[in-house]
Amino acid sequence: MLDIPLRVRVDVDPLIAEQRDMGVCDAIGRNAPAGKPAGMSTPHLPKVAGIDSSTHDPEHTAAHTQAHASAAFTAAEALTAADPSPVPAIGTGALIQDRLASWVSDLTTLHELTERLARAAPLDDALHELLRAGAALVGARRGMVVLEPPEGRGPAITTGLGLAHADLGHIETVPRSATPHGRILDGSPSSVPGAVAQADLFRDEGLDPRLREVAARLGYAASYALPLATQEAGKLGVAVWFYDEPAEPVERQRHLVGLYGRYATEHLARLLELDRARRRLATITEELLPSRLPRVPGVRLAARHLRGPRGGGEWYDALPLPEGALGLAVGAVSGSGPSALAAMGRLRASLRAYAVMEGEDPVAVLSDLELLLRLTEPARSATALFAYCEPALRKVVLAGAGHTPPLITGTRRTEFVETSLSAPLGMLACWEAPSVEFSPAPGETVLLYSDGLLRHTGDSMDRAFARLHSAAASVPRALRDDPAAVVDHVLRTALPGASLPGADAEGPGTGPSTADGCGDTEDVVMLAAWFE
């Protein structure tokens, strides 16, 4: 085997096989076109994992060539077949060694960059990684990606590398027909356009004056636009890199960034599809949860639902009952995704029916719910808590099935309501647990929440309960008469990284959960009832 003087490891995978099939050895073995001004040459690729993409000195490989002469001439025959350009008779083995070394180095660089892109799961992170890697491949410092997927496949996004929002705004003031990336985006949606290089903007007599003005203001003199399009994924957008001086990528760089762009397009298409599925799931989730909370004399309500990436099984409900009573419920279905979402919708609808029929007896409501779950979905379990409230009497009767206990907070006390231990629904042949009765004082708030809140803290259960208790006890006195303000304060304190949506004081709110420092991805639900 030919001994290549590079300490690299090249994984044999479909990506490298693709480069070999497309003649990447031929592409990267050629030099830049003859007669090209020195000012238009771009820097070599930066080192990736300790690999320098520049061609090695033939003297460095002479000893290895003498030791493996026969293997070198065998490789020479293969390279000659791939590259018909004449090869000097003297130093043939050294030249082949250098070409193979450059080929392996470029493939390793490309492999490293695509692996980094594959680890960039959020769409914004993937776009920034695309810009950084492309800038390294074409020898630029700044860039911009414009993502405009077909209607319904995802949002339109414009992101810059080394460009502020104001700079991107200046570029967007130029008519799209006057810019290479605009022409790529507005071209035929069924075709895959080619890359466009503008080597010297200020010597281009046909350049639109508005583009010339923006280029002078931002300080770039050349650009290279690469379409993000494949036959399989369609046209998703375009990436543009800007040079401070007149320049353009050489053939080897164009080939490498083109291969990288194809992989990036497929990766972005997968992320867009995943994002679209999540948005659809979130829409269905909100349709299954209460669109508004009821108004019952003597009590004020507020709720928050923070969506997690894998959520869908946690829910809450509030419904008016006969004689001025109120039913409050929270629960969670095992599993995640669409199946858990569907089970959650069925469970919540069933609980509403049982609450209307026998809501004054929470144990009977949960018993009926457990029987239904066991008969219709024997492979699934769920936790639930149902409270029957009489606001005029400030009386609450509740029963729980494997669910976390409510928290009552006011100016004089903050404590968990003691409930009996019970198994989740669907875990036992016959579920039953005693109910608990308590009376909130005027101005106190009862908080019902899902166990996802505790897991999102990232602490052990004991510490998570302590953190929740401390968050409720720290609610400022001025906010205690507003249940929405109480809920927001508790969530922000218990989950410092949570992004809370806006909501009315007596209405539900929804939004994405972004709790920092926690790997859990469940939903978070909190329902608050403030008693007059």
Q: What is the DSSP string of 31-65?
A: -PPTT--GGGPPPPPPPBTTB--SPPPGGGGHHHH
The predicted model scores a pTM of 0.61
**pLDDT for the residue numbered 311:** 61
**pLDDT for the residue numbered 496:** 83
For CA atoms 193, 199, 202, 206, give the dihedral sign.
Answer: negative
Confirm if 115 and 9 have CB atoms less than 8 A apart.
no
Q: Give the model's confidence band at 126: pLDDT under 50 very low, under 70 low, under 90 confident, else very high.
A: very high
Residue 145 in this model has a pLDDT that exceeds 70: yes
Backbone angles phi, psi at 243, to 5 degrees: -105, 145
Provide the 3-class DSSP secondary structure of residue 342. Answer: helix
Count, residues in the chain: 532
**pLDDT for the residue numbered 413:** 95
Cα angle, residue 520 at apex, residues 517 and 526 outer, rounded to 5°: 100
**pLDDT for the residue numbered 49:** 39
Residue 530 to residue 444: CA distance in whole angstroms: 6
For CA atoms 117, 121, 125, 127, give the dihedral sign.
Answer: positive
Ranked by mean pLDDT, the top range of 22-36, 270-284, 343-357 is: 343-357
| H or E segment and range at residue 484 | helix 483-494
Mean pLDDT in residue range 483-494: 94
Where is average pLDDT lowest: 44-53, 155-164, 443-452?
Answer: 44-53
Q: What is the mean pLDDT of the chain?
A: 79
Residue 118 in this model has a pLDDT that exceeds 60: yes
- Tens digit of pLDDT for each residue in 196-223? 999 999 998 889 999 999 999 999 999 9
Residue 336 in this model has a pLDDT that exceeds 90: no
Dihedral (Cα; 11, 15, 16, 22), 10-degree rounding: 180
Name the residue with higher pLDDT: 148 or 34: 148
Provide the 3-class DSSP secondary structure of residue 92. Answer: helix
Residue 75 in this model has a pLDDT that exceeds 50: no
Residues 6+ apart with CB under 8 A from 50: 7
**pLDDT for the residue numbered 67:** 37
